[in-house]
Amino acid sequence: MADMKTLKDTLLSGGYDDALKAVYLSEDCIAQQRQRYAAVIDSFISLFGAERIGGLFSAPGRSEIGGNHTDHNHGRVLAAGIDLDAIAVASKNTENIVRVKSEGYRMDVIDLSDLSIQEKETGHSASLVRGVCARFQQLGYRIGGFDATTASRVLSGSGLSSSAAFEVLLGTMLNYLFNDGKIDPVEIAQIAQYAENVYFGKPCGLLDQMASAVSGFVMIDFKDPSSPVIEKVDFDFA
């Protein structure tokens, strides 16, 4: 966490290159990713100011390799997180309000004093923001106001789970801004699925959110959806 100017200067000077390599694997794209994250920081500064203290976050889209829709039926799947992801810069505020401005979309503004389902938000991103916050609170985790700007390379309607990436990104921000990163990826995925099922209104299975939250190349056994078994698959596609 750092103020926005320091965050951007450190990013562009290569201070986060090791983290970027861990996420994107190839060194060839690091310079491009630096510029991408810098643009999200610039967007945040233009809306909320350069003095704010915040951090950078990412959640990947996913590719389904085998087991289409078997997650609905307590089956097994092969899936992988991909290097097309949703990214964000986020900072706490003291207003009990969440503001999320995604590139190309209007800002979602959620008052945390009312986390009930809003029918007018069904099918819209605001419902996902509200739903993720609501589920965190229901499970006894801390929530609070924050401001964020996001951008995504997980194209909407592409079959790479843009909504799951956005939900997991929201959960990851709440996890590290307010809960010291103690919530594990499986629970982040389950929270994300809850938001999509109950608030967004789409009865999806858990595959998309789980593949995004866990990332890597994985086998997931959904025999018990409340406690899925996840196994990393050691395989190099190259």
**Sign for the pseudo-dihedral over CA of 174, 177, 180, 184:** positive
- Cβ atoms 206, 189 nearer than 8 A: yes
Share of the chain above pLDDT 70, in %: 100
Q: Which residues pair with 59 in a beta bridge?
A: 86
Query: 176: how many CB neighbours lie within 10 A of its CB?
Result: 16
Give the pLDDT confidence of 184-202 residue by residue, as tens digits. Answer: 999 999 999 999 999 999 9
Distance (Å) of CA 13 to CA 6, 20, 198: 10, 13, 43
Give the pLDDT confidence of 30-68 residue by residue, as tens digits. Answer: 999 999 999 999 999 999 999 999 999 999 999 888 887
Torsion angle, alpha carbons of 177, 181, 186, 191, to 10: -20
- Cβ atoms 172, 57 nearer than 8 A: yes
Give the pLDDT confidence of 72-92 residue by residue, as tens digits. Answer: 888 999 998 888 999 999 999
pTM of the predicted protein model = 0.94
The maximal CA–CA distance of the chain, rounded, in angstroms, is 49
Check residue 122 and report its DSSP letter: T
Reported confidence tier of residue 237, pLDDT bands at 50, 70, 90:
low
Report the C-alpha gap between 146 and 55 in whole angstroms: 11
Average pLDDT, the chain: 94
Give the pLDDT confidence of 201-210 residue by residue, as tens digits. Answer: 998 888 899 9
Amino acid at 43: S
Residue 211 — left, alpha, or beta (φ > 0 → left; ψ -120 to 50 → alpha)?
alpha
- Cβ atoms 51, 19 nearer than 8 A: no
Give the catalytic positions in this structure.
Answer: 208
